[in-house]
Copies of this chain bind each other. A is one copy, B any other.
Amino acid sequence: MTSSRRFGRRDSETSLAILDATERVMRAEGYGAVTSRRVAEEAGIRQGLVYYYYETMDEVLLACFQRRSAQALARYESEVRSERPVHAIWDDLTNTIDARLVFEFVALANHHEGIREEVNRFLVKTRRLEAETIRKEAEARGVDLAPATPAAIAFLMYAATLVLASESSTGVTEGHDDVRALFDWMLKRFE
């Protein structure tokens, strides 16, 4: 029982404007506010046009996450080939990640199968990439990580930066300086 509707290209200007608008609405008002009307208003188009580019609103959310995760993955893959890969990953997690959006997508993933699969795929891929990078660097520089492991450090870098950014954006900073100092100490060992 497929629909007879036709759809526009995902790389068109309007299509990308819809994704941009979706990100803005999500950041400011949460995924619950991502409706065809609200997104259309934010993108400067009419409500019906959203459905020319995306079959459902779930498709919009999925495309939005896929675009972001592809961009992030591309950055990581470039960073791990840089001169100081562990520092580069930490800086990316600290400065480029949008914790507010991540929280929204993770909350979405809890009850939206398509998003969940994409989020999980992304998490596993990036964590393995980061852990392997940390392992190689530690080996090359003769750093003994014990009692930590590359995978533990990769996990903690992600969890810490996510919560740091999330709390900062709502005004909580208790313990943040101490945590950053601890990771700075860890990063120094990779110099």
Contacts and interface: CB of A to CB of B under 8 A. Distances in A.
Interface of A: 28-33, 100, 103-104, 106-112, 116, 119-120, 123-124, 127-128, 131, 147-149, 151-152, 154-156, 158-160, 162-164, 166-167, 169-172, 174-176, 178-179, 181-182, 185
Q: Could you tell me the dominant secondary structure of chain A's interface residues?
A: helix
A167 B111 contact: no
A105 B111 CA distance: 14
A30 B170 contact: no
B163 A178 contact: no
A110 B100 contact: yes
B181 A155 contact: no
Given A29-B111, A32-B32, A155-B160, 12 more contacts: A30-B107, A30-B110, A104-B107, A123-B174, A131-B174, A149-B178, A151-B175, A152-B175, A155-B176, A155-B178, A156-B159, A159-B160
Give this chain's copy count. Answer: 2
A172 B29 CA distance: 27
A148 B172 CA distance: 20
A155 B170 contact: no
Given A149-B178, A152-B181, A103 B107 contact: yes
A105 to B, nearest CB: 9
Contacts of A155: 160, 163, 174-176, 178-179
Q: Looking at A28, A151, A176, which has the most chain B CB atoms within 10 Å of its CB?
A: A151
Contacts of A170: 109-110, 116, 119-120
A108 B30 contact: yes
Nearest to A126: B174
Contacts of A162: 159, 163
